[in-house]
């Protein structure tokens, strides 16, 4: 059972907006640790999509954004495109585990 909770799947039509939630607790997100998001295309390694809650690495389009509040974070993708079909994972640090934690992942389907 993953420490961070994500919905198993979300879907949207091309051009629409989808959001993915990531809920933690007082020992991880709620303790102030940053949340990072990764995109994993089928058969490939994860790729950093958002770091430190709301920052995009070079090359990630500005239609992808992140936010964090309290014990939760969210990832938003606007102008949904077929290439956005992938699994998305949130990640943070947990002080009670002295280690890093991931969400179980959310599959984004473009209808």
Partner 1 sequence: EVQLVESGGGLVQPGGSLRLSCAVSGFTVSSNYMSWVRQAPGKGLEWVSVIYSGGNTYYADSVKGRFIISRDNSKNTLYLQMNSLRAEDTAVYYCAAGDYGSGSFANWGQGTLVSVSS
Chain positions contacting partner 1, by CB under 8 A = 2, 33-34, 36, 38, 40, 44-48, 51-52, 55, 57, 87, 89, 91, 93, 97-105
Taking the least distance from each CB to partner 1, the nearer of 2 and 17 is 2
Q: Where are the beta strands (DSSP E) in the chain?
A: 9-12, 18-23, 36-40, 47-50, 64-69, 72-77, 86-94, 99-102, 106-110
In the three-class reduction of DSSP (H, G, I as helix; E, B as strand; rest coil), residue 76 is classed as: strand
Taking the least distance from each CB to partner 1, the nearer of 81 and 96 is 96
Least Å from the CB of residue 66 to partner 1: 11
Give the residue carrying structure tokens 């799947």. Answer: 9
Least Å from the CB of residue 55 to partner 1: 7
Contact 93, 50 (CB under 8 A): no
Contact 56, 63 (CB under 8 A): no
Least Å from the CB of residue 12 to partner 1: 21
Least Å from the CB of residue 79 to partner 1: 24
């Amino acid at each position: 059972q993953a420490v961070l909770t994500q919905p198993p799947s979300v879907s949207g039509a091309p051009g629409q907006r989808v959001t993915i939630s990531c809920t933690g607790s007082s020992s991880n997100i709620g303790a102030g640790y940053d949340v990072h998001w990764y995109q994993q295309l089928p058969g490939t390694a994860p790729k950093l999509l958002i770091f430190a809650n709301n920052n995009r690495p070079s090359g990630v389009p500005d239609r992808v954004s992140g936010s964090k509040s309290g014990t939760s974070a969210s990832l938003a993708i606007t102008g949904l495109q077929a290439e956005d079909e992938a699994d998305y994972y949130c990640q943070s640090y947990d002080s009670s585990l002295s280690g890093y934690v991931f969400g179980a992942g959310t599959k984004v389907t473009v209808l």
